[in-house]
Amino acid sequence: MEKCVVIYKSKTGFTEKYAHWIGEELGCEIYPVENCNLVHLYDYDLIIFGGGVRAGKIDGIKFVNKTRSRFPDKKLIIFATGATPPEETVAIDRVRNMNVPANSGIPFFYFLSGFNYEKMKGFDKLVMSMVKGVVRRIKDKDGTQDAMLAAMKNSYDHSSREYIDPLVDYVKSL
């Protein structure tokens, strides 16, 4: 197996949890993106980057672009965590398309997580409040919106270590 590192950006703890699970399974070093110096990446063949999804963007995704430009021969994998259920493939494909550079061949994995209002900072809480207000005002709700409102009502954690299995299997197959 290649020498790998897991770099992550986590605001409320879900991505950090997944990064640690991946690191444990693969025997990798794990660093928050804030503590990662690009110079250290010379030591690794494979860089796994993860971030939480907010408004369709993966937090910290600029790190991937910097890494690609400085280390074009390094293998990269991206994972994202979010509250969107994995069966919502259209929404997850949209996240992939918004974040993974087209024709890059970078593998992408998505892991269900949740909401943690207690760890959210002011701006994120404000955005969530605005989203809830917009969804509440939809007149002809189709059930999806009611489910969204129910999901956004309280903190919850749907993280599961088993979700990392496809990523771990992929890395082990390299």
Spell out the domains of the chain, with CATH numbers in brackets.
4-116+156-173 (3.40.50.360), 121-154 (no CATH)
Report the C-alpha gap between 36 and 166 in whole angstroms: 25
pLDDT tens, 119-130? Answer: 666 666 666 666
Report the C-alpha gap between 33 and 112 in whole angstroms: 21
pLDDT tens, 107-158? Answer: 999 999 876 656 666 666 666 666 666 767 777 767 666 666 666 666 667 7
Across the chain, where does the E strand assignment appear?
A: 4-9, 29-32, 46-54, 57-58, 75-82, 108-112, 114-115, 156-157
Please report which residue ranges of 35-140 form alpha helices under DSSP H: 62-70, 89-99, 122-136
Which pTM does this prediction carry?
0.81
pLDDT tens, 48-58? Answer: 999 999 878 99
